[in-house]
Structure 1
């Protein structure tokens, strides 16, 4: 930020009540500034103003979303709480896995910084979410990256894609963390606002759990890790609280954080040794709002207060003012609370790992956060007013004026839906075109830049339906994680769209054979000051909370990213949902493609097919967006999930893949491309039973469906199980390892080599 902060004491602030302050330049509203003065009973010091401005920003305070996010807690059932050890409110949620093991996972956004500086924005997004995981007492074991970019052929998209992918790979690979999955989508609505959502997973023993609080009068407060610099002053906390102008630039240009993954790798090991020896009482990572956040949240979550001497902070830039030090979002830093008797042992660990540290102060019992500069008090606040009792807005919202007309414009009634492929050759060409489209094409150009198998515990990764990592080497216990969102569905109906995002992620986790336990979300929307955008947000949260109740999985944490718009045009509503599931043994996971040893296995479709093409990938290919998204039946999704998990556990299926984007055509194409093994498919039974034509059978995106391959010896058990549970199935054909083609009998044949050529060419064509 260009604003300079002077060194000003509390007494001086009180003595000059009428001195004009730059509250607007710091992103505060006039009434917010007035409230700060009311809370303090005086004019704030420059340092206090800096703290309140970043902590009351949209990114840090959730002031526009809190009233809606409360539903995640209000709608918790006893079933949903069964495995939840830590929920919303801490750095990351924690879920019990059994046998003394727990897992923590969370997804967050680094959207705006990644547009301004793609490499560092994305890299520090990975670094920040990993530190959230560390601060819970866990060892990070994997990351994922749901990404959304502008139109693939736009001149600026390549700049953003190259920088973001390199940043994620450069930071994650250097940390030695496998990238086990995510998403990649292209749409013009993200042209000036790409979405870089980063997810991290960590594992811990129950006794290793740490929380962010400062308790115990006389305990010491320490800042350790990298030195504090001018990079990141105002960073994500300011960038994420404003939209871009018509030129794609923020009104204020904070400095994007600069990451050092090797420093963070050392910090991980250092923290794990501190946890192992129980040397810290509370710990907090320094991300958005930096020291302002760490001190105020630790003090607010504790039983007393905190006193800190800011001149003790180790600096990279000695010219920084107190306000800038408080606002800096320099990376690779942690703050901890240490008992006096553990000080020497703490310092020994720092020496072992060659990590710099500085003792800033101590925990007090007066309920105040007091920060001094050379002994002079520059901050004296109730920490709750900074960290937790900021503004809460019930912003007005209403259904968009365009929504009714949008939903009435169905694909079938549009010009795009009148000239559909009907001949065998037209259907064949449509499948090729679909698989070469940007949102369904091969993403290995991206995933090859990530290390997916480092640490040796990755059991599945992209392009399988979910990433799978082993947690316990002795038993083989592990977790599966999937992230999903269909922004077109959410645009057509935010309530249903959010539920469909959860349903797809849930389905992907069960498809590989894991039992879903927990949810994390990253809610990406436009400006909350636009009532129509706020309606989209409110509906999405309501839909997600309701769906979690039905599926029995709680939201344990997440992130809200607002002001994702340029020149007044918002992105599509994008409620990214991550679901985590548990395996007793990851050796039982189910891959998403037909294997070489599956020759002759029966191919079945679970679920019915309806004429549901609104918001589909095929409609998108024809430039159409309108109508209503596919119907979501959460009870059926839950039943399908139970079937898939039981079938996987019992060895009843050798491959499984959900049906979602691109419909049955994309699912079958993915399954033959996975290992280069063909299949012979007959659509007649499906078409007759569900009353659909070949085009609808192939391209409809009806939900609650999955394709599986079943060994001949298991077909009786398979049909008995689905019949007993009342779940509709259709036999589609057989795996044909010799054919090296996807043959839809009576329609067309697509050699795998030809399909692969089209599928693999798209991203390299645009990005090299």
Structure 2
């Protein structure tokens, strides 16, 4: 007869355990011993090591992230905020949208295809677990220098992984970003976003109430892939040194996930789910502890019942495996037969592995032994919280003092524009986005290269009433801005995403974020994080858009070289009538072109300084949030009134790039004069809170009057038409030449 593992742990307090190999600090391990009143079993150690990891517990970021709650603006639209798998907002007509962005950075460097693919799969399951149908994905990608050899290894695999998984699921990829900077070599950023739709009275939560309710694991079988992957990248197995290392990167099966989506939706429709949680980072450890902690406090699980792809897996490996396409549900005994029938219909394996209790303990057995007996909240909610020391980087003042003012400005404005237009960051991303299906399911209204993606929401769910309503989404970030000033950089990321949603005619409602930084153990990195978080919370408060959730990704660095601090912000907006959406660029000839917003001499962190001079220094553009709010009000109202025919935000590259891209969009030229005397400043400054619009001549006065009511400057620049972009007293470039330069850059590099 075997000895009970929990009892043996109590009787052998001095037995050495590999907690440091699992990423735990000495004091963390001692705290686990204090909680349990003994040393943990190897399975309990597995649970605490993954649940208390940086990725799962937010132990270094939690003290700063609380600002998103304490400073949260009041929002009648917010239905579910931070703390659940994804935020949910009311979008009207009885509908709700749920959305979230998360990182899969390190796995995507180790194995680009599977790392990126399973990043998509994981964020899709977060949306499913809220009771929603996933309806679209987006991705914000950052790589090393475009011509660096490792970028040529990583980028094609990442793009292929995103394309393969999303296309197989039948989810349109409607937007995102692709950016390059040498700081990301060895540390690419793969941030995946998913949005879903549901009726607002059908929200599901991760909770396990009701003693006697059954715990069901359904979806793919559990394998050896991804053991500790996103959480600690565990090395060898616990007790058998001879076994080979398990791969840390998960392997995805999008066809199983597609079945899982349809199965979950039918389960929700049948009302046979009490609580549900996806299995992502930390796998079974996360699902069981979080469900139990948010329910009646207890759960009993028999790990022998977990369906396995690899029968050699030990309990510790089962608990840490991050195999994909798995969900855990809590089901009443009376509904279990109906639940199983629906799973069988969709060919989704489902197994009852345990039961909800009211003991306040999470108990797990294996081969008749008790191997886990813990208070679940101590793993799910009561992990360590660090107030990491932080201070301004030693060279920050010198960096801010080295502004771009000293850089020579070429008098050849035409050549400068073409150089920027063909640079990797500003060139067309069609080489990437053409590999994604943007229009599958037929509900896409806007997609790349529009400033924001947009979806109509009618006919998405079975039996849904017809509605003209739609949602718009954008993600944005700028690591150079945040390097120069992380407080302002985070606000500028939010401002651009907010503006990109507004230029389509949609009203911004809510925010998700993915905060990508170096090591939190570096006080200089921690200062960047603290400042960025403070800046983002303050900006959300001013703009009136709450943070609904997101992700923190630390340790994005090689040795002592961290990436630029890169807060990526996603904004969701709603539009009452998608037929009123505003298309990107110049949509026809004979329209008046107007610039909305004020232009200042702001070149710190600009594409011009980066591309032409390889320079980073000074201060980024000022984040004028009151101006952003006024501009958004004008754009949304003008779209609703049918005043605007086309629009484009001004951001990287300034007015010059906005003009060029607006011409390229529909092949329509324009003839314009510049709004300020200094032509270089007018064309290439990156002042925020600006947009380029085109309107019918008879609507121009109404637009100008609307701008006046919101204190938004409105400058008439010229008219659309012809086959060239003509900037008075500066240059003339055929639209065909602009398109050739813009579209040819990435294919020339990546083939």
Would the TM-score normalized by the shorter structure come out above 0.5?
Answer: yes
1:317-396 alignment, distance < 5 Å: 317-396=310-389
Aligned residues: 734
Residue aligning to 1:468: 454
| Separation of aligned partners in 2, 1:129 and 1:204 | 16
Residue aligning to 2:409: 420
Whether 2:122 is the aligned partner of 1:128: answer yes
Instruction: Confirm or deny: 8 A CA contact 1:112 1:239 kept in the other structure.
Output: no
Per-residue CA shift, 1:505-527, capped at 9, x if unaligned? 00000000001110000000000
Of 588, 593, 608, 1:618 maps to: 608
Shift of 1:138: 0.1
Residue aligning to 2:422: 436
**Range 399-408 or range 369-378, more displaced:** 369-378
Q: TM-score, normalised by structure 1?
A: 0.95
Shift of 1:253: 8.0
Whether 2:718 is the aligned partner of 1:703: answer no
Residue aligning to 1:179: 173
| Separation of aligned partners in 1, 2:528 and 2:247 | 29
Instruction: Confirm or deny: 8 A CA contact 1:217 1:304 kept in the other structure.
Output: no
Residue aligning to 1:249: none
Residue aligning to 1:60: 56
Residue aligning to 1:71: 67
Residue aligning to 2:643: 652
**Range 713-722 or range 539-548, more displaced:** 713-722
DSSP-derived class of the 1:235 partner: coil
Shift of 1:240: 11
Of 186, 193, 198, 1:199 maps to: 193
* Runs (5+) with no aligned partner, structure 2: 236-244, 460-465
Residue aligning to 1:526: 518
Of 223, 228, 237, 2:231 maps to: 237
Of 629, 633, 640, 2:620 maps to: 629
Shift of 1:719: 1.5
| Separation of aligned partners in 2, 1:298 and 1:716 | 58
Instruction: Confirm or deny: 8 A CA contact 2:225 2:246 kept in the other structure.
Output: no
1:215-230 alignment, distance < 5 Å: 215-230=209-224
Shift of 1:234: 0.9
1:515-554 alignment, distance < 5 Å: 515-554=507-546
| Separation of aligned partners in 2, 1:295 and 1:679 | 60
Residue aligning to 2:240: none
Instruction: Confirm or deny: 8 A CA contact 2:209 2:295 kept in the other structure.
Output: yes
Residue aligning to 2:242: none
Per-residue CA shift, 1:521-560, capped at 9, x if unaligned? 0000000000000000000000000000000000001000
| Separation of aligned partners in 2, 1:385 and 1:227 | 28
Shift of 1:254: 4.8
| Separation of aligned partners in 2, 1:333 and 1:720 | 55
| Separation of aligned partners in 2, 1:745 and 1:7 | 87
Whether 2:710 is the aligned partner of 1:725: answer yes
Residue aligning to 1:765: 748
User: CA RMSD, aligned part only?
Assistant: 1.3
Shift of 1:102: 0.2
| Separation of aligned partners in 2, 1:183 and 1:269 | 29
Residue aligning to 2:44: 48
DSSP-derived class of the 2:166 partner: helix
Shift of 1:682: 1.1
Residue aligning to 2:476: 484
Per-residue CA shift, 1:407-443, capped at 9, x if unaligned? 0000013xxx1x2122xxx111111000000100010
1:686-701 alignment, distance < 5 Å: 686-688=675-677, 693-701=678-686
| Separation of aligned partners in 2, 1:748 and 1:240 | 59
DSSP-derived class of the 1:672 partner: helix
| Separation of aligned partners in 2, 1:289 and 1:350 | 24
| Separation of aligned partners in 2, 1:69 and 1:240 | 27
| Separation of aligned partners in 2, 1:240 and 1:204 | 37
Instruction: Confirm or deny: 8 A CA contact 2:224 2:246 kept in the other structure.
Output: no
Shift of 1:151: 0.5
Of 274, 278, 288, 2:281 maps to: 288
**Range 715-724 or range 323-332, more displaced:** 715-724
DSSP-derived class of the 1:294 partner: helix
| Separation of aligned partners in 1, 2:293 and 2:682 | 57
Instruction: Confirm or deny: 8 A CA contact 2:51 2:282 kept in the other structure.
Output: yes
Of 663, 673, 689, 2:654 maps to: 663
| Separation of aligned partners in 1, 2:14 and 2:416 | 70
| Separation of aligned partners in 1, 2:284 and 2:138 | 27
Residue aligning to 1:261: 254
Per-residue CA shift, 1:444-482, capped at 9, x if unaligned? 000000000000000000000000001124122110000
DSSP-derived class of the 2:664 partner: helix
DSSP-derived class of the 1:405 partner: helix
Shift of 1:374: 2.2
Instruction: Confirm or deny: 8 A CA contact 1:7 1:322 kept in the other structure.
Output: no
DSSP-derived class of the 2:530 partner: helix
Residues 347, 722 of structure 1: alpha-carbon distance in 2 compared, 3 angstrom cutoff: same
Shift of 1:726: 2.2
Per-residue CA shift, 1:258-310, capped at 9, x if unaligned? 00000000000000000001111000000000000000000011123100000
DSSP-derived class of the 1:128 partner: helix
Instruction: Confirm or deny: 8 A CA contact 1:513 1:645 kept in the other structure.
Output: yes
Residue aligning to 2:735: 752
DSSP-derived class of the 1:687 partner: coil
Residue aligning to 2:241: none
Shift of 1:184: 0.4
DSSP-derived class of the 1:412 partner: helix
| Separation of aligned partners in 2, 1:564 and 1:497 | 18
Instruction: Confirm or deny: 8 A CA contact 1:234 1:254 kept in the other structure.
Output: no
| Separation of aligned partners in 1, 2:325 and 2:72 | 35
Residue aligning to 1:506: 498
DSSP-derived class of the 1:320 partner: coil
| Separation of aligned partners in 2, 1:384 and 1:521 | 26
Shift of 1:8: 6.5
DSSP-derived class of the 1:140 partner: strand
Residues 253, 190 of structure 1: alpha-carbon distance in 2 compared, 3 angstrom cutoff: farther
